[in-house]
Amino acid sequence: MDEKELVEKCLGNDKSAQKLLYDTYSSQMMGLCMRYANSREEGEDILIEGFTKIFSNLQNFRFDSSLSAWMKKIMVNTAISHFRMHHKHHNTLPLENAESELRGTHELPSDHIQEKELLALIQRMPETYRVIFNLAVIEGYSHQEIGAMLDIQESTSRSQLTRARNWLKERL
């Protein structure tokens, strides 16, 4: 069944199509959720909330992109909303010396690390670092976009990303 047919059947309230959509994409979306979550349980909460939004807004999907890309955007936005609601100011670190950190570029070591190990490290990051790292490095958002999403200054996003990279670099 192609995406268009799957979406149409889901919109027609076909339970088997809805299950197929969930079964097809839940693993990929859970991986995304886990990058933002502190625990598996929190990741599952984000996943469930995200799929609720997906099914509630499926009629808005216009086939301008792939279904998975559209769903991924909803999951990222759900994770950000979850972060705002539950963690926004937890583990926020002081921004002294931010200017000097913004000048340098810090890349992670190029040694190979297994995906599971990297995910575990990302999950151990302070929450602010983790969210900004995911949005900038993995999702590809600009610091301006991140600032708007999280209601922070663009420079804060930049400095937190630098600190996140340094945090990872120290542990690799």
pLDDT digits (tens, 9 = 90+) for 23-58: 999 999 999 999 888 889 999 999 999 999 999 999
User: Is the CB of residue 70 less than 8 Å from the CB of residue 21?
Assistant: no
User: Is the CB of residue 158 less than 8 Å from the CB of residue 166?
Assistant: no
Same-domain status, 8 and 83: yes
pLDDT band for position 117 (cuts 50, 70, 90):
confident
pLDDT at 113: 60
Reported pTM: 0.67
The answer to whether residue 92 sits within a structural domain is no
The answer to whether residue 107 sits within a structural domain is yes
pLDDT at 90: 44
pLDDT, averaged across the chain:
83
What residues contact 83, with CB distance under 8 A and at least 6 apart? 36, 127, 131, 150
Residue 69, pLDDT > 60, answer yes
Q: For residue 83, how many C-alpha atoms fall within 13 Å in the half-sphere facing its CB?
A: 29
Task: Show the domain range for 124.
Answer: 98-171
pLDDT at 48: 96
- What DSSP string runs through 49-83? HHHHHHHHHGGG--SSS-HHHHHHHHHHHHHHHHH
Same-domain status, 14 and 79: yes
Q: Tell me the CATH number at 105.
A: 1.10.10.10
The token pair at 107 is: 């890349």
The answer to whether residue 93 sits within a structural domain is no
Cα–Cα distance measured from residue 72 to residue 143, given in angstroms and rounded to the nearest whole number: 19
Question: How many domains in the chain?
Answer: 2
Q: Which of 40, 68, 87 is the last residue of a domain?
A: 87
pLDDT band for position 169 (cuts 50, 70, 90):
confident
Q: Output the CA–CA distances (angstroms, integers) from residue 83 to 49, 61, 91, 127, in the order listed.
A: 13, 25, 12, 8
Q: Which of 87, 122, 147 is the last residue of a domain?
A: 87
Q: Which of 87, 117, 132 is the last residue of a domain?
A: 87
pLDDT at 132: 92
Percent of the chain scored above 70 by pLDDT?
84
